[in-house]
């Protein structure tokens, strides 16, 4: 593994994202199964993904980690919009299609949510899911996140407007 191990789950390791991961991220993010779930409409080439790596992934404002299983990168997970004053943040994850349905997303999300509460002293963690993505919604439901609302027609993907479901969990509700 090219990056340093940061957190360990039951089935995944969360490690730093390194420049060597840019090619994997470019290839995976352009796949329709990944791109449409993230509402990414434009293709990304290696240079654009490298710029994203340098400007967003390498910043000190977010937590961005590679989700790995058996030493292989499967996707990325992160905490974004960290607000230390109010103790809130948003968690987001994507996995390459060959890693879907194996519990890796749930394990990685559990580990990072736990980190947000135990080490970053967050009070609330939020997740957003396209209403068409039941598998992602199940991750948050399994982890004890409550569905807090729906924004109607908030995203445009796959040629149509879709609702976005919002989930959240508070530190005193979190069981890890």
Confidence of residue 3 (pLDDT cuts 50, 70, 90): confident
24 found inside a domain: yes
Q: Is-above-0.85 flag for pTM?
A: yes
Residue pLDDT, tens place only, 99-117:
999 999 999 999 999 999 9
The residue written with tokens 């479901």 in the block is: 165
For residue 13, tell me if it sits in a domain: yes
B/e letters for 110-141, b = 16+ CB within 10 Å, e = fewer, are: bbbbbbbbeeeebebbbbbbbbbbeebbebbe
Query: In total, how many domains does the chain have?
Result: 1
Q: Confirm whether 74 is domain-assigned.
A: yes
What's the CATH code of the domain at 80? Answer: 3.40.630.30
In a domain, 45, yes or no: yes
Distance of CA 66 to the CA centre of its chain: 10
Full domain range(s) for residue 133: 5-170
- Asked whether residue 175 is assigned to any structural domain, the reply reads no
- Tens digits of residue pLDDT in 5-60: 999 999 999 999 999 999 999 999 999 989 888 877 788 888 888 888 888 777 77
**Residue 96 is assigned to a structural domain of this protein:** yes
Give the other-Cβ count within 10 Å of 54's Cβ: 12
């Amino acid at each position: 593994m090219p990056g340093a191990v940061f957190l360990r789950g039951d089935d995944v390791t969360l490690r730093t994202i390194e420049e060597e991961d840019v090619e994997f991220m470019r290839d995976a993010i352009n796949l329709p199964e990944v791109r449409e779930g993230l509402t990414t409409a434009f293709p990304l080439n290696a240079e654009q993904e490298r710029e994203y790596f340098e400007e967003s992934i390498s910043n000190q404002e977010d937590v961005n980690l590679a989700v790995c299983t058996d030493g292989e990168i499967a996707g990325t997970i992160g905490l974004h919009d960290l607000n230390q004053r109010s103790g809130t943040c948003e968690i987001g994850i994507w996995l390459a299609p060959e890693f879907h349905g194996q519990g890796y997303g749930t394990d990685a999300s559990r580990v990072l949510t736990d980190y947000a509460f135990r080490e970053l002293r967050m009070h609330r963690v939020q997740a957003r899911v396209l209403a068409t993505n039941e598998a992602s919604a199940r991750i948050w439901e399994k982890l004890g996140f409550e569905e807090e609302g729906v924004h109607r027609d908030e995203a445009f993907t796959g040629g149509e407007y879709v609702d976005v479901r919002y989930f959240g969990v508070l530190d005193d509700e979190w069981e890890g």
